[in-house]
Amino acid sequence: MPRIKRGVHHSKRRKNILKQVKGYRWGRKTKLKQAKTAINKAGAYARRDRRNKKRVFRALWLTKLNASLREQGTTYSRFIAALKKANIQLDRKILAHLAEHEPKVFAAIVKAVI
């Protein structure tokens, strides 16, 4: 019975890993062990930052809203409390978009709520 040789699988796997690290710097783009580590870390960072992105954007929306609301003479916390009391279910993303791009519509919402 002949022995099993795995040269094809080894080179295929290596080629795939090195294709993923194309554009990386120094030895991480040419050395297999460093490339594997780089791929694992890149995946971990990517997952972490997909979660963080949600946090960052929510903070941006709150900042935009608060700035626009202070021009209207109120604060973010009072506005959100009034929205909940009025049972208006617009999310912060939409409100921030309105405040930035449609100030007249946003002003009408603020007047209607407060």
Listed by start position, the domains of the chain span 7-113
Tell which CATH architecture fits domain 7-113. Answer: Orthogonal Bundle (1.10)
**Which value, to the nearest 10 degrees, does the dihedral of the CA atoms of residues 49, 51, 57, 61 take?**
-160
Q: What is the pTM of this model?
A: 0.77
CA atoms within 13 A on the CB side of 50: 5
pLDDT at 2: 84
Q: Which parts of the chain sit beneath pLDDT 50?
A: none
SS3 annotation, 66-84: HHHHHHHCCCHHHHHHHHH
pLDDT at 5: 85
Q: Read off the pLDDT of residues 48-71 as tens digits, 9 standing for 90 and up.
A: 999 999 999 999 999 999 999 999
Nearest of 68, 58, 51, 67 to residue 93 by alpha carbon: 58
Q: What is the pLDDT of residue 82?
A: 97
The first and second tokens of residue 45, run together, are 């960072």
Res 103: pLDDT: 96
> Checking phi first, is residue 82 left (phi over 0); if not, alpha (psi -120 to 50) or beta?
alpha
pLDDT of 38 reads 98
